[in-house]
Structure 1
Amino acid sequence: MKLPKLRGLWKKVRSTLAGYRPYRYFFICLLLPIAILATFSAVYYCNYTLRTRADLQSEAQHRLSSASTFLDNTVKKIQVNSRLLINTESFYNLFYNMASKDDAPTVYDATKALVNYNATLDLVDSSFVYLRGQKTVLSGEGLTNADNFFTQSCIFSDYSAHYWATYEGASYSFAINTPTTIEHKPSTSASSITWHRVIPVLTDALTESKSQNLFVVCLNQDMVEKTLQSYRKSEDEVLVVADKKGTIIASTDTDKATAFLGNQTVQHRFLDAGSTGCLELSLQGKRYVVNSGASNFSYAHYRFLSFTPKTSFYSTMQSMNLFFITIILLTAAIFGALFYVFHSYILRPMKTLIGSIAHKGKEAGTGDANIVDFLADRVGDMQKDISTFVPILSEQHLVNLMTNPDAAARELPYGDNSVDSLPHAHFCVAVLQTQFSNAFRSAFTDEDRHKILKFLLQALKVQLSKGYVCHVINLQKNQIGIILNIADQFQAEQLVPELATVFGFFQYDSALISFSAGISRSCVELSRLHEAYQEARAALNTVPDGSPPERCVQIYSGSGDRVYFSFTTAQDNQLYYAVLQGHCAEAHAVLDTILKQNAARSLPHSESVKLWQYLFACILRAVKTGSLPLPWSKDFPDLSGEFDFADSGTTAQFLHELIDRTAQKADAHRQFSIDEVTDFIDTHYQDDLYLEAVAEKFGVTDKYLSRAFKESVHINFHDYLNRARMDAAKKLLVTTRKSVTEVGQAVGFNTHSTFFRVFKALEGVSPTDYRRLNRP
């Protein structure tokens, strides 16, 4: 009797489920993720310890590599700034012993330049120049007798005056000495004596042994150790920078670091052998995890170590059970919420909609209209949600908005609502121009110029980001664009001291580097960035030559009714490269487009003259870059000086003929082989190669090289470089016993994480797995 009842009950359940088929499939979809989650949790539990240990060790070594990079970059900044300082007019004669110490103006200018130098880097405590021939010392207090300086003003606890007088080191290099203490003892009163913990950085010949004088920069050891604090993951972690003898250069806890470095295992494995990796040791009656990362420091073989208590290092593993319980409960809550939403807002409206369609021509009720409105609203909400993921503020997007007036209508499909998440509604544009003089180019290399530009970009980002939401973009070779998201009460004058502060970093000799900047008014919409960019360029053109930093920044103050010519950066690049590469038809087409679009603006004659001058300068810039002969002759003279008296037709004919006489010779005159570039990469892949430096080596622009590379080799420059490095890395992994980190450094990668990521992306497996699978 019971069996028939059970059969009947089962048929009833099946009938009910058949009537609600969407629910049945939903329950299956609900249970399947839960089953997957349970399986995943079991597998994850088994592998959690091993995987977490490896991740924590890798992260610790990465932080040590970052600390090494910080110290390396600090010394590199000192090197660049010192080279700028020594080659200034005020410093040159003193440093090379060609001026008398009684030359008061020279000593005053040199002292002032040295004081400005000390302010360029927060980590610099003090600096001085030891003039061996005169037995004098130049410091921030002026020129002093060497004996008086080392006995009354600056006494080194670990280095005597005799040490500096007899010092001999490698030419054209920096040496980082072991830390010491400086006693500053002014002659006024003994009560004002102060002590400074410093790390001396010393060079004995900045310019290839032309001078026997010394330039000593003392890094503030307290500031260095304070910066090291930012690389710690926990409060009880100790970071140490030491040489292979165990001498501590800097640490976050000197007492503990001294005790730790006295351990024989630490000395043998990490100090003497210089190994990298992770090791657990008992130190001072407590278990510690010792990590040593790969050092990027290029000036000396220092060791970067971290000591972390084991309980603190693996603290994340102690909360494993809580983590799993939280994930399971959260997943259950999410699926419960999904079930409620699915039932209330999808299945029920869908059922009503299906019922409405089943009316077969009958008049629909009010409920049906509500369902249609509901679906329409949901589609609209989804569209708004999707708009928030559009990369509105990417650098390429901002460049297009500034330089192309039609970019806003084409690239803002959802209007300016897509930037509602920004803190302010207004925007401001500043354009900064950097000028490197011939004196700079004769004294320094293009690599030095690249370093200065990179430092300038970083300095602007750091200085401006303190008060504004900003984007700093490298627009052209020596031109930088700054876009600020500002409040409506913003005054452009507020930005002038910020820019002047950054300019002041480089004011050792204005004859080497000069700066100018223009600032626009504020605009309310992103689509008006082009107008703000034009205003900033107009203000930039009004900067007087040879002005001090605070006067090198001009604010746009022109009338809003004035009509400016339209000549975007994109059009400038198109015309420049068309002439440079000998594409006559393309150059003529770009020129006609520019002239026609400005003819429609009804420009005043003065503005038309400026446009013609810009076009003329763009074409001649391509001629100079391509090393082409100037086309001037008796039947074709240079008419650029007569633009003020010419009409548009005469000027257009002159510019078109100038293109014909230059672009036709450009392609044949230009000597450039992509095979030479690939051969150079194949033999120098281990160096710090980048597109701009390689382009300048072969006498072409970076954009031209990128385009030619893709047309000839069919992949871009960076992909080819990475492939060359991977081929060398695979060979080293199979044929040598070097560690993965050492292999990455040998083929040109600065960090282990970058090498690991690129290798896995190109080869499909990690470097360790590749070695295991391919080693005989």
Structure 2
Amino acid sequence: MKATGPIGTLLFCGIGDLPYVSSGGCPMQEHKLFFKIWSYFISLLVPILLIGYIVYVNVDRLMNKDVSDRLQANLTASVSNIDVNLEMVRTTHNNLMINDIVQQYLKPHSLQTAQDKINVPSIIRTIAANRSTLSSFIDTVFLYSDVEKVYTADGVVDFETFFNKFYAFDQFPEAYWRDRLSQDSIFEILPPTEVRLEGGGRRTVIPEVTTQYVNGHLITSVTTIPARSVLRALTGNSIYESTAYVVTDADRSIMMRSDQWTEEQLEELKTKLEREGEPDQLQTTIDGEKMLVTRLISPSFGWHYFSVTPVDAFNYESSGILTMIVWICVALIVIGIVFSLIFSLRLYNPIRNIRSILQNEPHPDARRDNSRGRGEFGEINQRIYELMDEKLDITERLRHISNDRVERYFLDLVNGSPWQDEDGESRIMADIGFVEGKYLCCCFMFQFRDRFYHEIAEADRVMILEKLKVVLWGIMRRHVNCYMVECEHNLYVCMVNLRTEGDRAGLDEALKTIRLTFEYDMVYCDLLIGIGNVYPDTTSLAASYSEAITALDKMRSRPDSSVVDAAELNIGQVYYYSFLDETKIVNALKIGEPDLLRKEIETIVETNRSRGVSYSHLGALLAAVYQTGYRYLTERKQDVFRFATEKQHQKLTQKTVLPTEWQERTEELYAFFDRIIEATAVKPERRSSSVVALISEYIALHYAKDLHLEMIADEIGLSPKYVSKLFKETTGSSITDTISRTRMEKAKELLLETDLKVGEIAEMTGIASRTTFLRVFKKYEGISPMDYRNAHGRRDDGEK
């Protein structure tokens, strides 16, 4: 296509520094770059449209805000008026109950005297006078003190007739009003209900009930407020005729509404308010129509008032502004097109010269791209794109290397193996923004149910597992500065940097968001979250991680909780494993009792658990118990690797353990000890002799103490019942008898070889009472200690 004539040439080529024109005119294909530049300039006019749109939106928003403020103020005034009337109803209600005539003459019908019956008209006049005070806001007032008569402003009516014929409540039958006489209550507002009147009419009323003692009898006073009175107070002051009103109680139950609202519209409004958190103002769509909803809560009665106004009722005000903005934008665009044409002409020639230079360079990629018709700018920028691609590739490789290094650092840190390279550690902390504040660990553990593996395809499962870390980390770092690593399969550890006091609230909000995010996935998995304590530096993250893992384990005792904070727990950072505990395990190995050995280990573990020992230190405890078995084998010159493979040995010596690994780790430990007992166990008779020898040796060494069966059993790591039975069956004598005989043998030696008094000998043989010593000695020897000494040639040192 060619431009015809000088005007066409000027339009395509411009005025002044024209691009090169061949003798045949100015072909568009040759100067495609010029038109591209011009289109770029014209695209800069788009902000004019955006600015016009923004101006319109802001003006419209301000006008909507003004309307919203006026609607809010109008609703506030109406609600205040309603509250004043309701307060007056309450005051009138209370005045009626304390009125002298009511106090003096209102009694149950069966207790009324003739004089009381004469004064009944006074009660009726009193009710009528109270009703007339707020006749425009009250439907009726009635009192009753029994189930026989009801007193109204129009007279006295039989109880059943009144509630079944004259004023029958749909929601509250006659039985309900009978029960009210047994409930002492002060000014209770009941839900709205329809009443059937004697003439067949119906109306919706709000009953207000008070039951209290008068003259020693419970009297119920009821005032009913027509729902139309409340709605009339709202609509009477409405700014827009199309505004509808809805009133709910504190439990969000609808009390009254404008007539034009259907049940479906109310449900839609209720759903959208709940979804948005019930704001004071909300613009939404109901039944296909845009609505402005304003809410106000009554400070006196807790009712929720909603005004719902169609946006079309006030939207016409912004139409004139939109017209003016459109014309301004059109004028600016025309001016912009003219100036963009001029600027495009001035830029085109220099760019064309640069293109010509680059076309002359012998670069194969440039020639190849040009042959494919990449366009004018492709010839100019090809080399630049190549450099950018190389830079992006290098940057991506460096990012992966950096991420792997940071993950390795944190994994080593939480596993108790911090780096020794302080400079490298500082650079990592600076790169991820961990430069100040406090630190803690959060652990996220997913426990997948069978449904996850049966109902979800394998490819989808793999994708889900790959994205879990991304989802968790994405939510966390929107609220706090953090770094997340996958420590074990389905266990994610998040290191959190709390820079300010407010960051802790941000962390709580992040955890709340995570729970809500995975709430609907709980049919497939359980998400457990453990939070460690806060520490002043990153070197303590291992302790925080240990506490977080312990918190996960504590969820077994708190099944109603998905988040446990270590700050709420008493977690110890040292395990308890005494020489006595080790002795019990060794004794169980010696006597070859696997059940006893398991019981001792379980007792040691539960003791540590009850003291709040952290999970990582429980792992160290298992490693210490394993070392006891290791030393036991070493002392007997046994090869440890006969009883545990190298892989098992490495696992059992690890000082860290996860809750998911605990069962497997303990079972491997038990299997290790079972193999030791199986290989080193003695025959039953030799086992019995070994235990009896231990007991006899202990008695011989400790007879001077306050010795008894339970102490001996505890010292050798066996149950008292087992020790007593085994010793009796093997020796034919009880442990108590053996202790006494041993003491008497020692006493006889001291009587013959020393000049000690009888009381001193008693103390040295473990018998604190001299009388008991004399009795026991005579039981076993047949004579007293002094007679025994005299009979064997010792001098009498006197019994004192």
What is the TM-score of this pair, normalised by structure 2?
Answer: 0.31
TM-score normalised by structure 1 residue count:
0.32
